[in-house]
């Protein structure tokens, strides 16, 4: 297209619009239209309509980016929507991330006035063209959305008449001071309404609230279609869990109100929030609206799951119903937290792109779903947010304007591109991020007080965000979120790991990385000299998994002894847990890894399943055996981090791995490790080169293996190696 959005003007308005503004433009097509496209973005989030019809299905467009540097615009084909003659475009704009409470610390973003920029590019059948752009011909008016905020919910007044809206109309103003330099075409996956969930029950809680249970913790919104009379108010908030008395528990949402207030008109009221989402299992009506009974609510309400469009690639089914539920919980927590950016949680006043959480989960994410496009866009956000000195903010985009840059969090800039390259064989992940990776490693080199490691003065370690250590480790001192593992050891271990990734990346890209090769060797030798005694489980796990010890067998034995002495109550937190089972199985302790995977008492993965979880909890004991909550300020029931255990199930239990030198599963190694306690494991993974299947099941004392591979494979079963050709189906009983 010759014309583009860049020729349009930013428009906004002077004075007040009390509701979510509705920008309007009438235009006339003069000849027969051959094709028409619409380009748009907004300061906030928008929903666009032409002749009353919604354009596209992208929710929360234009998406979440570092708005000071990158603002996506979208291009929609509207050929089928445009009429001969008169047409009306209208664009409703909500606050979203840009102007909502979520960015209130980021003043120059948050305080930007509302605006849109758009163009309609029409090609007539005779080949002539016409462009309609945002300019002084547009008007703006009030809407029925009286309030909107991602955290706080929405207020909608359906009693406002069309005439009232029309009389509120006024001229727009041009906002030439707003930058067009930041405009970039859509990069990520679009966020869509993906699933509809019907309520399973409606009941009244002991404190008199009416609760609708969807039996699934989901991110999105609840919609309803109910008959009511004018002026009645339907008000509801959201909850993930009930407390021990059976009342809806909302304290863990902290200040996020997640409240919907809808003022009814006479007759049928059909409503869907436009500019807010939250994570919830329950819809909670503090007062039941008169005239409506439980049956009306049961048939009238629906939950809509909203997340980035990603194709499912990984399937796991085992002989344990509980592990199957845990897998379902992991898939849900991924969908619930992959809403344009990878977030820690979808419900409380946070929903941030926490880099550490994404770092620990990204490998599993790429096994479950095709996240190539999704992560590529977020890697661009990481690069954009990277500071001059190479450090990476702990949340990206950095809506809270955090100053910190923790180890294991910032390392996402090396670990995510590397994992994505391994998953898709797509070299862009490496070439686009190589400079940022090096900058991060160089930043560490310049930040340490002891060369060869990443060491920080104990006083500075107390700074919030310097290092989160083994976040939520169970060996944390009373009252602390940070586990007992030495933060300097974590920082140094990740320094080595990230430097190693820079070296491997440099080799693939044919870049000179001799400086980093030396650095890596140096870190490795100093690490062992410096951290002579590995005390905590996480310290041992990191030394083992990152290969930072010359006596791995001894360390592995020590780790196993510690775990056994603790009665298999693992102490690892966010940093150690994702690698725990890997560290054990790498040195032959498959049985211990399986014992931890299948353990049901606190702390364990299955504890939450036994307590009815439908998504992954932030804490092993979000709710304890007495029904008490962990805390109200840090207790999400939808945090994907611990779901990263499924990377172990795919790659060790089912044994599906790409060969490192054939990234993207161009050639694979399939080395399943069965355990009778799991009964069977059926695993399918749709790689970019086709579907890989690894199955095993016990038949008495023998195990039946079945493997299918679309590419050349090396199969390793109980130490024996078998070479398979592409397309081969392999069966073995042993
Ligand atoms: C988030 C975490 C995050 C952490 C950093 C929390 O509030 O929910 O998942 O990684 O802060 O320590």
**The pairing of beta strand 183-185 with beta strand 71-77:** parallel
- Cα–ligand 1 centroid distance for 423 (angstroms): 26
Best mutation site among 471, 636, 639 for ligand 1 pocket (most ligand atoms within 8 Å of CB): 471
Of all protein residues, the one whose alpha carbon is nearest to atom 5 of ligand 1 is 468
Please indicate whether residue 354, judged by its CB atom, sits closer than 6 Å to ligand 1: yes
As a whole-number percent, the residues of the chain with pLDDT over 70 amount to 100
Region 375-395 average pLDDT: 98
> Cα of 560 to ligand 1 centre, how many Å?
28
In this prediction, residue 552 carries a pLDDT of 96
pLDDT given at position 4: 77
Q: Write down the catalytic residue from 189, 350, 381, 537.
A: 350
135 Cα distance to chain centroid: 37
**Residue 291's pLDDT band (boundaries 50, 70, 90)?**
confident
Q: Is 350 a catalytic residue?
A: yes
Atom of ligand 1 lying closest to residue 471 CA: 12
Pick the residue whose CA is nearest to atom 3 on ligand 1: 354
Provide the pLDDT for residue 289: 84
Q: Is 471 in the pocket of ligand 1 (CB under 6 A)?
A: yes
Residue 676 and residue 526: Cα distance in Å, rounded? 42
Mean pLDDT of 519-534: 95
Token readout for 539 is 């310290």
- Under 8 Å between Cβ of 384 and 68: no
Alpha-helical regions (H) of 252-400: 294-300, 321-337, 355-368, 372-385
Question: For the chain, how many residues are written?
Answer: 734
What pLDDT score was predicted for residue 424? 98
Is the C-beta atom of 350 inside 6 A of ligand 1? yes
- Average pLDDT, stretch 130-150? 97
The response to whether residue 356 sits with its C-beta less than 6 Å from ligand 1 reads: yes
pLDDT tens per residue, range 420-461? 999 999 999 999 999 999 999 999 999 999 999 999 999 888
Distance in Å, CA 497 to ligand 1 centroid: 22
Paired with 35 in beta bridges are 123
Q: Is 691 a catalytic residue?
A: no
Contact 262, 158 (CB under 8 A): yes
357 close to ligand 1 (CB < 6 Angstrom): yes
CB 211 within 8 A of CB 294: no
Which atom of ligand 1 has the smallest separation from the CA of 394? 5
| pLDDT at site 478 | 78
Tens-place pLDDT, residues 343-375:
999 999 999 999 999 999 999 999 999 999 999
Closest C-alpha among 621, 563, 571, 358 to residue 470: 571
- What are the tens digits of pLDDT across the range 11-49? 999 999 999 999 999 999 999 999 999 999 999 999 999
pTM over 0.95: yes
pLDDT for 2 equals 45
Instruction: Read off the tokens for 597.
Output: 């995977």
The predicted-structure confidence for 667-701, as pLDDT tens digits, reads as follows 999 999 999 999 999 999 999 999 999 999 999 99
pLDDT above 50 for 1: no
- For the chain, what is the mean pLDDT? 96
Closest Cα to atom 2, ligand 1: which residue?
344
- CB neighbour list of residue 436: distance below 8 Å, 6 or more residues apart: 382, 383, 386, 413
Which residue's CA is the closest to the ligand 1 atom numbered 1?
Answer: 344
Contact call for residues 39 and 4 (beta carbons, < 8 A): yes
Q: What tens digit of pLDDT does each residue of 302-346 get?
A: 999 999 999 999 999 999 999 999 999 999 999 999 999 999 999
Confidence at 604, pLDDT banded by 50, 70, 90: very high
Residue 471 token pair: 């976040």
CA of residue 354 to ligand 1 center, whole Å: 7
Which among 287, 281, 321 has a CA at the least distance from the CA of 305?
281
Digit-coded pLDDT (tens) for 93-114: 999 999 999 999 999 999 999 9
**Tens of pLDDT along 144-180?**
999 999 999 999 999 999 999 999 999 999 999 999 9
Residue 633 banded pLDDT, cuts 50, 70, 90 = confident
Tokens (6 digits) for 231: 């002026």
């Amino acid at each position: 297209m010759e014309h583009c959005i860049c020729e349009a003007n930013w428009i906004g308005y002077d004075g007040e619009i009390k509701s979510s503004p509705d920008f309007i433009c009438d235009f006339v097509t003069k000849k027969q239209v051959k094709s028409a496209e619409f380009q748009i973005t907004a300061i906030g989030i928008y929903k666009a309509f032409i002749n009353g019809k919604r354009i596209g299905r992208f929710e929360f467009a234009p998406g979440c980016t570092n708005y000071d540097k990158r603002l996506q615009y979208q291009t929609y084909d509207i050929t089928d929507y445009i009429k001969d003659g008169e047409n009306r475009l209208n664009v409703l704009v909500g606050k979203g991330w840009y102007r909502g409470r979520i960015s209130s610390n980021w003043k120059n973003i948050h305080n930007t006035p509302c605006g849109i920029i758009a163009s309609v590019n029409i090609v007539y059948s005779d080949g002539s063209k016409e462009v309609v752009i945002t300019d002084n011909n547009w008007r703006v008016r009030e809407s029925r959305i009286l309030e909107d905020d991602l955290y706080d919910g929405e207020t909608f007044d359906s009693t406002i008449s069309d005439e009232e809206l029309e009389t509120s109309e006024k001229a727009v103003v041009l906002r030439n001071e707003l930058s067009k330099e930041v405009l970039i075409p859509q990069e990520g996956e679009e966020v869509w309404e993906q699933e509809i969930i019907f309520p399973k029950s409606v009941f009244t809680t002991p404190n008199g609230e009416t609760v609708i249970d969807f039996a699934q913790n989901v991110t999105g919104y609840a919609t309803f279609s109910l008959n009511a009379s004018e002026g009645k108010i339907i008000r509801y908030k959201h909850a993930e869990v009930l407390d021990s008395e059976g009342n809806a528990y909302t304290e863990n949402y902290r200040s996020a109100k997640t409240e919907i207030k809808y003022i009814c008109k006479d007759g049928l009221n059909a409503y869907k929030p436009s500019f807010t989402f939250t994570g919830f299992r329950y819809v909670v009506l503090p007062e039941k609206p008169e005239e409506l009974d439980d049956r009306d609510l049961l048939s009238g309400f629906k939950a809509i799951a909203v997340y980035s469009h990603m194709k499912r690639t990984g399937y796991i089914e085992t002989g344990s119903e509980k592990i199957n539920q845990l897998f379902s919980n992991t898939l849900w927590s991924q969908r619930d937290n992959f809403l344009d950016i990878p977030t820690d949680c979808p419900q409380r006043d946070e929903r941030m792109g926490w880099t550490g959480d994404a770092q620990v989960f990204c490998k599993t994410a790429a096994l479950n779903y095709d996240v190539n496009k999704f992560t590529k866009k977020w890697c661009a956000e990481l690069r954009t947010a990277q500071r001059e000195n190479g450090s990476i903010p702990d949340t990206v985009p950095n809506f809270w304007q955090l100053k910190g840059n923790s180890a294991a969090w910032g390392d996402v800039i090396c670990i995510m591109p590397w994992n994505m390259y391994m998953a898709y064989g797509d070299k862009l992940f490496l070439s686009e991020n190589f400079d940022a990776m090096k900058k991060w490693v160089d930043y560490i080199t310049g930040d340490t007080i002891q060369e060869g490691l990443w060491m920080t003065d104990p006083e500075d370690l107390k700074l919030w965000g310097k290092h989160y250590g083994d976040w939520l480790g169970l060996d944390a001192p009373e009252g602390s979120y940070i586990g007992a593992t030495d933060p300097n050891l974590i920082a140094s271990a990740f320094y080595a790991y990230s430097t190693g990734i820079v070296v491997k990346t440099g080799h693939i890209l044919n870049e000179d990385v001799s400086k980093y090769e030396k650095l890596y060797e140096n870190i490795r030798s100093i690490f062992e000299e410096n951290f002579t005694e590995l005390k905590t489980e996480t310290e041992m796990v990191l030394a083992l998994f990152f290969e930072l010890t010359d006596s791995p067998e001894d360390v592995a034995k020590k780790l196993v002894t510690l775990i056994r002495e603790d009665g298999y109550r693992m102490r690892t937190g966010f940093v150690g847990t994702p690698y725990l089972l890997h560290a054990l199985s790498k040195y032959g302790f498959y049985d211990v890894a399986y014992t931890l995977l299948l353990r049901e008492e606190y702390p364990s993965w299955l504890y939450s399943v036994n307590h009815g979880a439908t998504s992954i909890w932030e804490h092993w004991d979000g709710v304890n055996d007495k029904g008490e909550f962990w805390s109200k300020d840090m207790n999400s029931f939808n945090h994907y981090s611990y779901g990263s255990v499924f990377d172990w199930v795919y790659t060790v239990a089912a044994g599906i791995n790409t060969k490192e030198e054939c990234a993207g599963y161009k050639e694979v190694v399939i080395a399943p490790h069965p355990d009778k306690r799991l009964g069977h494991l059926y695993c399918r993974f749709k790689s970019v080169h086709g579907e890989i299947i690894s199955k095993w099941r016990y038949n008495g004392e023998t195990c039946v293996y079945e493997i299918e591979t679309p590419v050349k494979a090396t199969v390793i079963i109980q130490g024996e190696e078998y070479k398979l050709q592409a397309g081969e189906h392999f069966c073995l009983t042993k």
